[in-house]
Amino acid sequence: MKIVLLDDVLNVGEAGEVVDVKNGYARNYLIPKGIATRVTRDVLNRIEIIKRAAEAKRARRMSEAAGKFAEVANRPLVIQMKAGTESRLFGAVTSAMIADEVMKQFNVELDRRHIMLEEPIKILGEFTVPLKASAEVTGEIQLTVEPEVKAGELEQKLIEEERARIAAEEAEKAAAEGEGEENGKVEEATEAVEAQEKYEAHEEEAGADEPAE
């Protein structure tokens, strides 16, 4: 079926173009969604209007995409997955999964088609995932895929971290107290030496004042 696109459609065409698509795709998706319309004389007369409206919409989308890319830049995204031997995942991290996690963790809605994964991620590790809305509008996500932690294991991990923190604080406090005690001993010793020196100086002066026999 020949239709006129009212909006850009990936791998089909841009708004204002007359394209030929399968009947079911046109009738069940493109036309009901308002993305395309049947070819008529009236629509053909409005092609230039459709193209200008699409250009404005395209520019707005690119601006929105650039803003979203900026929001996720330099923000670490962490996805936990079940993993087996050699860090291999039970499953894979996909563009759709990354888009869902960006929404959950950053409250930023990314179009999954802008997430340029060459193939799904199937191992644990750190990855730089490219983002692309157009040749001029690009970005990236810093992604870490970690092994999944069960609720009990997570609780135990938090307890151990808290214990380690408390132990570090106590060690630091003990070191500070020990340093204070050492400084106190040094001060006491110094005062004792000074007192002894004053006493000896006083004795020498007293001896010098006594008349010789």
Render pLDDT for 134-183 as a digit per residue (tens, 0 to 9): 889 999 999 999 998 765 555 666 677 788 888 888 888 888 776 666 66
The predicted pLDDT at position 200 comes to 65
Which residues lie below 8 Å from residue 80, measured CB to CB, with a gap of 6+? 145, 146, 147, 148, 149
8 A C-beta contact, residue 53 and residue 119: no
Q: What is the mean pLDDT of residues 98-114?
A: 95
> Strand 88-93 relative to strand 121-123: parallel, antiparallel, unpaired?
antiparallel
Q: What percent of the chain has pLDDT over 90?
A: 62
Average pLDDT, the chain: 86
Query: Residue 212 pLDDT more than 50?
Result: no
Phi, psi for residue 39 in degrees, rounded to 5: -75, 120
Tell me the C-alpha distance between 127 and 93, whole Å: 11
8 A C-beta contact, residue 112 and residue 98: yes
Q: How would residue 205 be classed by pLDDT, with cut points 50, 70 and 90?
A: low
- Whole-number Cα distances in Å, 45 to 1, 40, 48, 99, 144: 19, 9, 8, 39, 52
Angle between helices 95-106 and 47-72 (to 10 degrees): 70
Q: Say which residue, 134 or 68, is predicted with more confidence.
A: 68
The predicted pLDDT at position 207 comes to 58
Tell me the C-alpha distance between 142 and 72, whole Å: 9
Q: What is the mean pLDDT of residues 196-210?
A: 61
The pTM of the full predicted model, rounded to 2 decimals, is 0.61
Measure CA 125 to chain center: 14
Q: Say which residue, 126 or 178, is predicted with more confidence.
A: 126
Q: For the ranges 25-29, 30-34, 85-89, 190-194, which has the lowest average pLDDT?
A: 190-194
Could you count the other beta carbons within 10 Å of the beta carbon of residue 124? 17
The predicted pLDDT at position 183 comes to 65
Q: What percent of the chain has pLDDT over 70?
A: 80
Q: What is the 3-state secondary structure (H, E, C) of 124-180?
A: CEEEEEEEECCCCCEEEEEEEEEECCCHHHHHHHHHHHHHHHHHHHHHHHHHHHHHH
The predicted pLDDT at position 56 comes to 93
Q: Say which residue, 33 or 155, is predicted with more confidence.
A: 33
Query: Residue 74 pLDDT more than 60?
Result: yes
Q: How would residue 85 be classed by pLDDT, with cut points 50, 70 and 90?
A: confident
Tell me the C-alpha distance between 122 and 92, whole Å: 5
Tokens of 50: 């459709």
Q: For the ranges 21-25, 52-56, 82-86, 191-195, which has the lowest average pLDDT?
A: 191-195
